[in-house]
């Protein structure tokens, strides 16, 4: 279960080693016990969102009784369905398979279904890890975990505070950073062998400016139809397949 509610339960989760993605607190409460929880969240670097109490009522309704929400006491935490990994976990997995690091970086993918689908494609197509940002990103919730069809168990999912800093760290380790961009070079003509990380942006805003400027190459998928675009998860899968195809040749 990835929803924790009630002041004592939320406080315990924040004090434990369990990864907590987000804290929701009702706008209309500010007593000492809640202030303590907010301070603990800030200390742990957990984003805090002040919400209307009805949001918490709806969130905890499945855990209540007789059509009433559970007693959330004005706070709830969203915890990951699986513990997040580290960048070193990604490199360790690649080394254990004697393969060049193959990574997928998600910038602004906020839909949990898309996140789960990308994780599934990444695992199937041989990637060694998926990197997401702490903010402006879907988290590894039970919905995302379910959409991955269990693939999240087999590759590290890494959550970072600063996506650009993570890109720089990968570059220092010899990984080429390839942005998925419609204005880029056809992926078929790019050399995608060796250590590569694809950056996939949101369908609306795309890749953030700083991250895009920090990429080594830009790759696109040639389009023939009139729609002119692909869902982010589908585009990610196509690029990953092209990388896998070239690696086999």
**Among 57-66, 183-192, 234-243, where is mean pLDDT lowest?**
57-66
- What is the pLDDT, as a whole number, of residue 101? 98
Helical ranges in 111-207 per DSSP H:
112-124, 142-147, 163-172
Q: Model confidence over 5-37: pLDDT tens digits?
A: 889 888 988 887 678 889 999 998 888 999 999
Could you report the per-residue pLDDT of 116-126, keeping only the tens digit for each?
Answer: 999 999 999 99
Interval 213-230 mean pLDDT = 89
- State whether CATH 3.40.1280.10 applies to domain 87-248: yes
DSSP letters for 26-81: ETT---HHHHHHHHHHHHHT--EEEE-HHHHHHHHGGGSBTTB----TTEEEEE-S
Q: Decide: 79 and 13 in contact? Cβ < 8 Å.
A: yes
pLDDT tens, 68-86? 998 899 999 988 777 899 9
- pLDDT class for 139, splitting at 50, 70, 90? confident
User: CA-based diameter of the chain, in Å?
Assistant: 63
**pLDDT at position 224, please?**
85
Name the segment(s) of the chain with CATH classification 3.30.1330.30. Answer: 3-79
Mean pLDDT along residues 94-101: 97
- The yes-or-no verdict on residue 53 having pLDDT over 90 is yes
Enumerate the CATH 3.40.1280.10 domain ranges in the chain, comma separated: 87-248
178 versus 249: the higher-pLDDT residue is 178
- Quote the CATH superfamily of domain 3-79: Ribosomal protein L30/S12 (3.30.1330.30)
Q: Which tops the pLDDT comparison, 188 or 64?
A: 188
pLDDT digits (tens, 9 = 90+) for 144-153: 887 888 888 8
The rounded mean pLDDT for the chain is 91
Q: What is the pLDDT of residue 225?
A: 81
């Amino acid at each position: 279960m990835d929803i924790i509610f009630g002041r004592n339960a939320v406080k315990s989760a924040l004090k434990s080693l369990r990864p907590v993605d987000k804290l929701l607190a009702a706008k209309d409460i500010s007593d000492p016990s809640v202030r303590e929880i907010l301070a603990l969240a800030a200390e742990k670097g957990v984003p805090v969102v002040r919400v209307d109490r009805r949001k918490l009522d709806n969130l905890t309704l499945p855990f209540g009784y007789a059509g009433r929400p559970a007693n959330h006491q004005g706070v709830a935490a969203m915890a990951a369905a699986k513990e997040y990994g580290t960048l070193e976990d990604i490199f360790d997995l690649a080394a254990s398979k004697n393969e060049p690091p193959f990574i997928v970086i998600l910038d602004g993918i906020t839909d949990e279904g898309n996140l789960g689908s990308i994780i599934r494609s990444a695992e199937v197509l041989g990637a060694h890890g998926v990197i997401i940002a702490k903010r402006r990103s879907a988290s590894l919730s039970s919905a995302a975990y379910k959409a991955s069809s269990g693939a999240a168990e087999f590759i590290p999912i890494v959550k970072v505070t600063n996506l650009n800093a993570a890109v720089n760290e990968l570059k220092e380790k010899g990984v080429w950073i390839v942005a998925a961009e419609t204005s880029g070079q056809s992926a078929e003509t790019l050399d995608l062998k060796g250590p590569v990380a694809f950056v996939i942006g949101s369908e609306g805003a795309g890749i953030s400016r700083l991250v895009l400027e920090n990429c080594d190459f830009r790759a696109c998928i040639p389009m023939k139809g009139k729609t002119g675009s692909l869902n982010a998860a589908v585009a990610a899968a196509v690029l990953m397949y092209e990388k896998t195809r070239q690696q086999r040749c």
